Amino acid sequence: MAKQPTIYLALTDDWELRGDGSGDMDTIQLEPMRRLASIYEDNGARGSFFVEVMQQRTFRRFQSEHPELKALADRWESQVRDVYQRGHDIQLHIHPQWTRAEYRDGAWKLEGKWSLLDYSAEEADRLIQECKDFLEGVLQPIDPNYRCLAFRAGAWCVAPSPHILSQLQAAGIVLDASIVEGINIHTRNLQLNYANCEESFLPFYPNMQDARKVSSRKEEIICVPTCHFIEPKGFMLRRHMKMAWRLVRKRFDVRRKGTLQGANSVAAQPSEYREWEHVNSSIRSKIVHQLRPYLNEGTYQIGDLSALEYPWLRCMMKSIRKRARSSGLSEVPVILENHTKEIRSFKDIERFIKDCAQATDIQFITLTELALRLQNGQFKIQTATP
C-alpha cells in the first residue's frame, strides 16, 4: 500500500456579494468573514481570501453621490486589512459584470458581461492590471512587501483564451486557481465547459491558450486545480431527498401563510440564483440531468466548504487522500473552495477544520506560500508528454 503523502491544504474563499450585485454586505460578507477567520485561527490555520475587487472599485466610483456606499467601502478595506494583519492571505478575484454598473434606489443593476472570456484582450488586460494594482494599493500601506500572486476568475472563467494567462503572468500572477473539473455551465450569462480537463488534481503548467490543457514545457504561470470529488450514489440520494423535503416544506408554508408569503419567499424574489438556470432546460432535461449520475459512478462536486455538510466534507477528504496516494508523490497541495455568502453551517466547517488540524498527514498553507513553494520547486508541477 502506498504511503500516505503530506497534503498541504489551502483554504480559499471567494469573498463577494452575489453575482447580480444583491445581498447585504454585513450579512453575507463582513460577519461571515470574521467568523470564518476566527474558526481558522482557533485551529492553527490561515485562510486565503479571494476578494472581489470590481465590487469595491465600483462602490468607490459611486461613493461621492451615495455616502452609504463610501461607508461600506471603508469597512470593506478596513476588514481586508484587519484579516491580513491577523495572518491570513488576500488574493485577487474579478467579476467583470461590475464594469457597467448602475445604482438606483439602493440596488445595483449590473450590465457588464459575466465572463472575462467575453472581453477583448485590451479590456481584459486593463481589468486584470487595474484590479491587481488596486488590491496592492489597499495592503501595501500596511505591508510594503505584499504582492498579489494568485488569481481566481469570476465564475471560474479563464479558459479557453488566447491572452488571459499571458496577461496574468505579465501582471505578476504566479498561481491560477480557476480550473475545476466537471463544471459545465450553459446559462444566458455564461458558457463554460471544464468537463474534460487534462489535469484536475495536481499543479500543472497550462497551455497558454487553453488552461484546460497541460503544456509540454515550463511556463511562467502555474495552475493548481480547485478540488472536486465524485459524490457517491448513496450521498447523492441523501442530498436529493433533503432537497425534495425542503421543497415540500416551502410549498406547504406558502399555502399555509397565503400569497403574501409566496410573494416574499426566496423562490419569488429577484435573485442571482435564477441567473444560474441553464437555458433551454425543460422539466424533462432537468430530470434526465438528475438521474444520469445514478447510472454512472456518481456526480461531480466542487470542494466547497459552504455547500457541503460534514459527512460530505469527510467524503471529500477520503477522495483527496486516495488521489494523493495514487499520485506517488510525497507532498501534494490541494485547494479547497468556500463562499462566505453561501455558508450554511459554521458548525460543520469548524468540525471539519478541527479534523484537519488534528490529522498527521495534513498541513495548512496559504496561497502566497503555495505560489512561492511552487516557484522554489518544493512541489512537482505536471507537464504534458511531447
Share of the chain above pLDDT 90, in %: 78
Q: Do 157 and 60 share a structural domain? A: yes
Q: State how many domains the chain has.
A: 2
Whether 151 maps to a domain, the answer reads yes
Question: What's the rounded mean pLDDT across residues 359-383?
Answer: 98
The mean per-residue pLDDT over the stretch 294-304 comes to: 76
More confident site: 289 or 78: 78
Q: Residue 264: what pLDDT?
A: 38
Confidence (pLDDT) at 265: 37
User: What per-residue confidence (pLDDT) applies to 284?
Assistant: 57
- Residue 294 in domain: no
Q: Are residues 178 and 254 in the same domain?
A: no
pLDDT of residue 245: 63
Same domain, 33 and 82: yes
pLDDT score of 188: 86
Identify which has the larger pLDDT, 287 or 147.
147
Q: What pLDDT sits at residue 282?
A: 58
Model confidence at 266, pLDDT cuts 50, 70, 90, reads very low
Residues 37 and 105 in one domain: yes
Q: Are residues 150 and 264 in the same domain?
A: no
The pLDDT of 36-49, averaged and rounded, is 98
Instruction: Point out which residues pair with 50 in neighbouring strands.
Output: 14, 91
Shared domain for 141 and 269, answered yes or no, is no
Of 160-164, 267-271, 307-311, the one with minimum mean pLDDT is 267-271
pLDDT value of residue 296:
61
Together in a domain, 154 and 124: yes
Does 386 reside within a domain? Answer: no
Per-residue pLDDT at 118 exceeds 50: yes
Which has the minimum average pLDDT: 190-204, 266-280, 313-327? 266-280
What digits encode the pLDDT tens for the residues 170-222? 999 999 999 999 999 988 899 999 999 999 999 999 999 999 999 999 999 99
Q: How confident is the model at residue 286 (pLDDT cuts 50, 70, 90)?
A: low
Task: Examine the domain organization and report whether 193 and 321 are in the same domain.
Answer: yes
With respect to residue 295, please indicate whether it lies within any of the assigned structural domains. Answer: no
Task: Give the range among 210-224, 225-239, 311-325 with minimum mean pLDDT.
Answer: 225-239
Domain enclosing residue 277, as ranges: 236-289
CATH number assigned to the domain comprising residue 110: 3.20.20.370
Q: Is residue 105 part of a domain?
A: yes
One domain for residues 281 and 167? no
pLDDT at 244: 64
pLDDT at 128 over 70: yes
Q: Looking at the structure, do residues 125 and 240 belong to the same domain, yes or no?
A: no
Indicate whether 380 belongs to any domain.
no
CA dihedral 270, 70, 92, 358 (to 10 degrees): -80
pLDDT band at 242 (very low <50, low <70, confident <90, very high): low
Considering the chain, what is the average pLDDT of its residues? 90
Same domain, 202 and 333: yes
Q: Looking at the domain assignment, is residue 153 inside a domain?
A: yes
Using the predicted structure, report yes or no on whether residue 362 has a pLDDT greater than 80. yes
Q: Residue 335: pLDDT above 60?
A: yes
Lowest-confidence region among 104-113, 132-141, 267-276, 338-347:
267-276
The reply to whether 220 falls in a domain is yes
Q: What is the mean pLDDT of residues 17-32?
A: 97
Instruction: Determine the average pLDDT of the residues in 286-297.
Output: 55
Does 115 share its domain with 216? Answer: yes
